[in-house]
Chain A
Amino acid sequence: MTFTSWQFGLFVAVVFAIYYLPQVRAFQVHLLVLSSLFFYGYGQVELLPMLAVAVLGTYLFLILALRARAIWLPVGIAFNLGLLAFFKYKFLLFDPAAISTGFSAADFLLRLPLPIGISFFVFHNISLLVDLTKDHQIRRPDLTEAFLYIIFFPQLVSGPITRAQMFLLQIREKRLAQVPFVDAAKWILTGYFFKLYVANNLNEMTAYMDFPLYETVRLEDKWLLVFLYSYQIYADFFGYTAIAIGLGLLFGYRLPINFNLPYISASFSEFWTRWHISLSTWLRTYLYIPLGGNRYGTWRTYLNIMIVMGLGGLWHGAALGYLAWGAMHGVLLVLERALSGKTDANSRWQAVVRPLRIGLVFFCVSMLWIFFKLPNFEHALAYVSGMFTASLIPGQAKLFNSLALLYSLPVIIQHLAPASLLEAARRRAEPYLYGLMAALMCVEAGPSTSFIYFQF
């Protein structure tokens, strides 16, 4: 069930209608858990037992780790990483069509598809294990509350990745009068607008980046497509997160902000504090700092950065392209760290230098998205190579610059319009603008496609 389906709209309406009934108030957590299980099992019911095993196993290890952290915490983490590795990387070793071990249970397990959202709920599981066994001030959740934290449906599939302590503190009785309806509506409308109007429409164009279609694209259009994909992936993922945050508010939970205008970053390290913030924070907290962070000298810091970014890339999928994408971001971060302090010597030039740096960071980030769009490393390299050689194939695809601009405009305006611009007028016009956005996303929605991050 995707966020953009009518079934999901009906599902949310029904759950919301029941959730705030006085008779149900004592069972709100239970209702959300059942709803989340229904949401997850809808269309892939065979994966529900796997989800249950992941949560129950994590909870068991949590109980044990609270008694003997040194022993059971690593086991619990290994259990979760094992799940992730098994489902995400098993196809590197097995051909699903040719699996036959002679044991039906093993064949069934090996043939199971990649469970949607596994990367996200495994991270929630690890956060639960680490946070609660480290900080004993946090109240230990009961099993239902642990379930809710891990499988709360707005964030189950693609995050944002919420820290256990942040979420668990919010579990209490919710009342309808406390719901910030306007804020929730703004988030939800913005999210759907970015997904339906921007991302889905741009996806029609960036489909030309796929192999072998890109061979029919003109040289200048190959460049255009790279930047369009930059806008698309932002609109797609930001849109999903905005909907998740809005839905969270409807049910009384504040989920973390996941994006903060990433394309105005003037450095690569700044980019990672603005893009997929919850993943960056998770990797820093649970991987970079435990590895030693920047506490053991320059070269060890560089190594830690490369490990974190490489694993961050591989987290997206078992493909060389993802590893290359993460590793190249790591190289950029290392280079930036090595050069920092030398490039900003003259602060008077900041007004000139900052826009140039923003442009450079945006350019590099966009170029690296090619490896994300084309996880097959050879295809990605061929695409990059094609950006510098004219295509001679006849019957070349036609892209319309005017259309590309109009579909990208919301992302550009969001990033470049100063917050102070016509502030009073904008505040007065705000409800009307949201109304226009709602209308536009209804009549100008692009062909339906799943969210890019659903595959992770």
Chain B
Amino acid sequence: MTPVTPQSWFLKCGSAAALSLLAYAVIALAGPKAPPLPTSRDGAVTILDRYVGEPVPDVLLVGSSLTARLNEEYFDTPGLKVLGLAGGSPITALEVALARDRLPGTILIEMNILGRGVDPALVQKFSPGSAPAWPRPIRSAIAFYERWHHAPPERARARAIAAALLQGPPSDFDNRIYVERALRESSTAPSEAILANNMATLRRLVEQAEARGSRVYFYSLPLSAALQNSVTTTATAAAAHAKFSDDRRWIHLDGTKPDLRWADGFHLDERSAIIIARQIDGFLAGASERP
């Protein structure tokens, strides 16, 4: 066999790379947009990507991972979407929602996690006019496959599953070690300066939303009794109520129900999330009747 000269080797190698990249660029630009495929802590990206790709809902819940547990299928209210960002803040979610041309008629803002500010990278990524991200081809192929192979259950079936869960007893999972850990993490008050800054940002965004015709309400998801009285929770709640003091704009969720559970110490379990979703449904039904 004739030995390959370095020039020939690099020519072949470069041609193969260039042709592959060209084929990729053609498919990426002309082909269908691939859904994201989260494999780590980037669930927020998936939720935001879906939100900006779908029609604007009538009702929108924005919040952190606490809100992310409230699956849309748990609600009776039609046209409701949930923008709960795991590891993120309601401020980021609200900022993304405000970047769209049209706003939901009603926006519900979770007020549990206010120590986290806006995530500029996420807002930039999901703002109109931001440069389209080049998809990763293998990940995209798997994303299409997964979407086809594991489509979410139809609404009627999801509701049947939720109803069956409600019929059953609450979980008896022993979550003591998780509650203790969550308590340790909530034992220091959030920085007053950060909290004040985030509240100011939130007020500005709320005023923008209202100026564009949205009705805005606030809610704090119930926490376990121990966490409800933690330093972080009480400091955050005090700051939130001081800034938004009109009680008519607050949804008072009944966190005293004995069958609410927080399996990991912090987030509502599935059955409890359904119970809370039904409470929010009740509030929204009442709100729609109010002038």
Per-residue contact bits, chain A 142-165, to B (CB 8 Å; 1 contact, 0 not): 000000000000000000000000
Contact of B263 among A181, A204, A392, A400 (CB under 8 A): A392
What sequence of 0s and 1s flags, for each residue 140-161 of chain B, a beta carbon within 8 Å of any chain A beta carbon?
0010011000000000000000
| CB neighbors of B among A206-229 (8 A) | 207-208, 212-213, 215-216
Residues of chain B within 8 A (CB-CB) of A264 are: none
Stretch from A19-27, A411-419, A439-447 at the B interface: A439-447
CB–CB B264/A393 < 8 A:
yes
Known pairs A400-B37, A400-B39; A185 contacts B10 (CB<8 A): yes
Binds A, one of B15-23, B95-103, B218-226: B15-23
Q: Mark B162-175, 1 if CB is under 8 A from A, else 0.
A: 00000000000100
Q: Is A394 an interface residue (CB 8 A)?
A: yes
Instruction: Return the CB mask of A115-130 against B: 1 if under 8 Å, else 0.
Output: 0000000000000000
- Taking the closest CB of chain A, its distance from the CB of B179, in whole angstroms, is 13
Partner of A394, one of B1, B9, B15, B269: B269
With both chains docked as a complex, state the minimum distance between the C-beta of B135 and any C-beta of chain A, in angstroms: 8
Are A435 and B17 in contact (CB-based, < 8 A)? yes
Complex: A394 Cα to B178 Cα, angstroms: 13
Collect the chain A residues with CB atoms within 8 Å of residue B24's CB.
439, 443
Question: Which of A394, A440, A442 makes the CB contact (< 8 A) with B264?
Answer: A394
A435: B residues at CB distance < 8 A: 12-18, 20
Q: Is the CB of B9 within 8 A of A431?
A: yes
A185, A205, A440, most chain B CB atoms within 10 A: A440
**Chain B residues near A208 (CB-CB < 8 A):** 40
Decide: A204 and B40 in contact? CB cutoff 8 A.
yes
Cβ A439 vs Cβ B1 within 8 A: no
B17, B69, B134 interface centre (most CB from chain A within 10 Å): B17
B173 x A392 contact (CB < 8 A): yes
A395 pairs with B69, CB closer than 8 A: yes
Residues of A within 8 A of B264 (CB): 215-216, 393-395
Scoring B15, B18, B136 by chain A CB atoms within 10 A of each residue's CB, the highest score goes to: B136
Question: Out of A182, A438, A439, which one reaches B6, CB within 8 Å?
Answer: A182
A434 within 8 Å of B by Cβ?
Answer: yes
The yes or no answer to B267 lying at the interface (CB within 8 A) is yes
Question: Of B8, B40, B146, which is within 8 A of A207 by CB?
Answer: B40
Question: Measured between C-beta atoms, what is the minimum distance from B264 to chain A in Å?
Answer: 5
CA–CA, A427 and B3, complex, Å:
10
Q: Considering only CB atoms, which chain B residue lies closest to A407 in the complex? A: B138
Q: Assess the B13–A444 pair: CB atoms within 8 A.
A: no
- Cα-based distance from A395 to B6 in the complex (angstroms): 54
Residues of B33-63 at the interface with A, using a CB-CB cut-off of 8 Å, are 37-41
Q: Is A403 an interface residue (CB 8 A)?
A: yes
In angstroms, how far is the closest chain A Cβ from the Cβ of B183?
14
Quick check: is B270 within 8 A (CB to CB) of the other chain? yes
A398 lies within 8 A of chain B by Cβ: yes
Return A435 CB to nearest CB of chain B, in Å.
3
Taking a contact as CB atoms under 8 Å apart, the answer to whether A439 and B138 are in contact is no
Enumerate chain B residues within 8 angstroms of A394, measured Cβ to Cβ.
Answer: 69, 263-264, 267, 269-270
The answer to whether residues A185 and B13 also contact, given A439-B24, A443-B24, A443-B134 and a CB cut-off of 8 A, is yes
B96 to A: closest C-beta gap in Å = 21
Distance in angstroms from A300 CB to nearest chain B CB is 45
- Whether a CB of chain A sits under 8 angstroms from the CB of B139 is yes
Interface status of A424 (Cβ within 8 A of chain B): yes
Look across to chain B and name the residue whose beta carbon is closest to the beta carbon of A404: B39
* B110-141 interface (Cβ within 8 A of A): 134, 136-139
**Which residue of A has the minimal Cβ distance to B21?**
A439
B142 adjacent to A436 (CB under 8 Å): no
Given contacts A182-B9, A432-B16, contact A400 B146 (CB under 8 A): yes
Q: Is A338 an interface residue (CB 8 A)?
A: no
Residue B4 is within 8 A (CB to CB) of chain A in the complex: yes
Q: How distant is the Cα of A444 from the Cα of B37 in the complex, in angstroms?
A: 13
B181 at the interface (CB under 8 A from A): yes
What residues of chain A lie closer than 8 Å to B21, measured between beta carbons?
A: 439, 442-443
The docked-state distance in angstroms from the alpha carbon of A207 to that of B17 is 31
A399 within 8 A of B: yes
> In the docked arrangement, what's the CA distance between A157 and B82, Å?
46
Determine which of B1, B14, B16, B39 lies in contact with A204 in the assembled complex, contact meaning CB atoms within 8 Å.
Answer: B39
Taken together as a complex, chains A and B put the C-alpha atoms of A208 and B20 apart, in Å, by: 32
- Verify A431–B137 contact, CB threshold 8 A: no
In Å, the complex CA distance between A392 and B174 comes to 10
B17 touches A438 (CB 8 A): yes
Residues of A within 8 A of B267 (CB): 394-395
Residues of B within 8 A of A205 (CB): 39-40
Tell me which of A216, A398, A399, A431 contacts B16 (CB under 8 A). A431
Cα(A402)–Cα(B264), bound, Å: 29
The CB with the most chain A CB atoms within 10 A, among B9, B15, B69, B267, is that of: B9
Q: A205-B40, A395-B267, A444-B137 are in contact. List 18 more A-B contacts (CB 8 A).
A: A181-B10, A216-B264, A394-B270, A398-B38, A398-B39, A400-B37, A400-B142, A431-B11, A431-B13, A432-B15, A432-B16, A434-B13, A434-B16, A435-B14, A435-B15, A436-B17, A443-B134, A443-B136
Which residues of A does B touch, CB under 8 Å? 181-182, 185, 204-205, 207-208, 212-213, 215-216, 392-395, 398-400, 402-403, 406-407, 424, 427, 430-436, 438-440, 442-445
Q: Which 7 A-B pairs have the closest CB atoms?
A: A435-B16, A439-B20, A431-B12, A435-B17, A432-B16, A431-B13, A435-B13
Q: What would be 15 A-B contacts, judged by CB atoms less than 8 Å apart?
A: A181-B10, A205-B39, A205-B40, A394-B263, A394-B267, A398-B39, A400-B39, A402-B145, A424-B1, A430-B9, A431-B12, A431-B13, A435-B15, A439-B16, A439-B20
